Structure 1
Amino acid sequence: SGSSEKQATQKPSVEGLHAIVVSDRDGVPVIKVANDNAPEHALRPGFLSTFALATDQGSKLGLSKNKSIICYYNTYQVVQFNRLPLVVSFIASSNANTVRVHRWYLALSSKCVLFTRSTTLQNSKPHTCTSYFCAPRMHFTWHMSECSPSSCAKNSQ
């Protein structure tokens, strides 16, 4: 039973994971964590925004709301998850374990809450501010500058 307890508390890891990007549906990054191996073009809004278009088209097939899209390329893979109005993108090497990427996402999303908060700018134009909040089962506090997917995963129990 000690082995199963260890597995339950062990944080998931993905060898070959290069970046995690939380972006809006236009591909504009809200939070980005990347290492030097992340392909630069895969971190750009033009690339990241294709998920929203593809998921909209996939939903029109009548099979219900699309949850994720996996794209394999020669040297890397992109696994994107639908949390509209946000998209969570994992960019990894092509030989990274895709199932582990999915498990990492599930662990991350169980520890963190994606939410949208609306405010008004001084010029009275409405503005929607989106943030990532990483404090499980606590009262909502504004943590945008203090929290990222990697720090959430490191600090979670």
Structure 2
Amino acid sequence: MRKDTIVIREIEAKDNPKIAKAIRSVLIEMGVPKVGTAYEDVALDCMTETYSPSQKAYFVVENGNDIIGGAGISPLDNYEGSVCELQKMYFMPEARGKGLGSEMMKKCLDFAKQAGFTQCYLETLPYMEDARKLYRKVGFKSLEKPMGNTGHYSCTVWMLKDL
């Protein structure tokens, strides 16, 4: 796979089953619990609809007809203030190690700024070290406790970045 054939773009309705399959596949590969994580989110099967209201966006990584990753921005659930959440950022093995994570972060954080958010929050798991390295590289700092209430109680690493 050549990087120049890969496109990061906004999600379309036709992508819904492909991104749901990709995310669940990565979660299974990583040994993520199926309860208390994105795995059980009903939104996985209707991502276009979930991210269509204003102040929300989901971007996919497309390689030909395949969706090999994605990430989204949404207002942080159950939280007052101008904080968004980086959500459902997952990449299939063939998308890793090509700089796509950094490109996706830029796309998502640029959208968040344009949407008027002042901070971006995320939740992850302690053993997802490569993801945490990327988050730290772009300026996310660790928090002692979660913000809002995302329902992802199995995710025990919380991070925040000023935009």
**TM-score relative to the length of structure 2:** 0.29
TM-score by length of 1: 0.30
The structure whose residues are more often strand, as a share, is 1
Rg larger in 1 or in 2? 1
